[in-house]
Amino acid sequence: MVLSGYCDADWAGDPNTRRSTTGYVVFLGSNPISWSSKKQASVSRSSTEAEYRALAHCAADISWIRQVLCDLHMIVPEAPLLHSDNLSTLALNANPVFHSRIKHLDVDFHFIRERVQSKDLIVQYVPTDEQVADILTKGLHSPIFIKHCSNLSLGSPPAELEGGC
């Protein structure tokens, strides 16, 4: 009963509105049980802001899932692990001195920080090539697309992708 999540954002990825796309996937054990890919409601002024919003959305979903499991008398013994490939978002969690630089993200900051401090959530770095949420935020080259399809238990990719294009 290990609950974990991967979140990512494609900063200013929409060429028309410059809004970012949030993508996340939540796993129970090795099974994906919740995922989302959605354009963010407002334009982010930095990649850190976009990634932090994605982190907050995934953290909220994990908290909700954990509560549902608790209501079903299924205890998650360890704090869920949330993976992000953005070092700046991890620095915000670790060092409250940076808080003054992101006052426009105040609610998201306090939501995540509170859960990290109470040990209800652990936020950890994951290298970009291991970031399975990438498949939900941007187009990927064939080898990494196939890898993430496998990580998400989506079955075999189309035959034209198997050979590398």
Q: Which residues share a beta bridge with 28?
A: 3, 31
**Which are the contacts of 71, defined by CB distance < 8 A and separation ≥ 6?**
none
**Residue 109: both structure tokens together:** 């900051």
> Mean pLDDT throughout 96-121?
73
Q: Is the separation of the CB atoms in 95 and 57 below 8 Å?
A: no
Helices 47-71 + 106-117 axis angle, to 10: 50
Nearest to 59 by CA among 41, 31, 84, 87: 84
Mean of the per-residue pLDDT values of the chain:
87
* pLDDT of 143 higher than 70: yes
Regarding pTM above 0.85, the answer is no
Pairing of strands 21-28, 3-10: antiparallel
Tens-place pLDDT, residues 37-55: 999 998 988 898 899 899 9
Helix (H, G, I), strand (E, B) or coil at 147: helix
Q: What is the mean pLDDT of residues 124-134?
A: 93
pLDDT tens digits along 65-91 = 999 999 999 989 999 999 999 998 888
Task: Determine the pLDDT at residue 106.
Answer: 67
Check whether 161 has a pLDDT greater than 60: no
Query: How many Å from the N-terminal Cα to the C-terminal Cα in the chain?
Result: 38
- Kind of pairing, strands 81-84 and 122-125? parallel
Q: Rounded to an integer, what distance in angstroms lies between the CA atom of residue 43 and that of residue 17?
A: 8
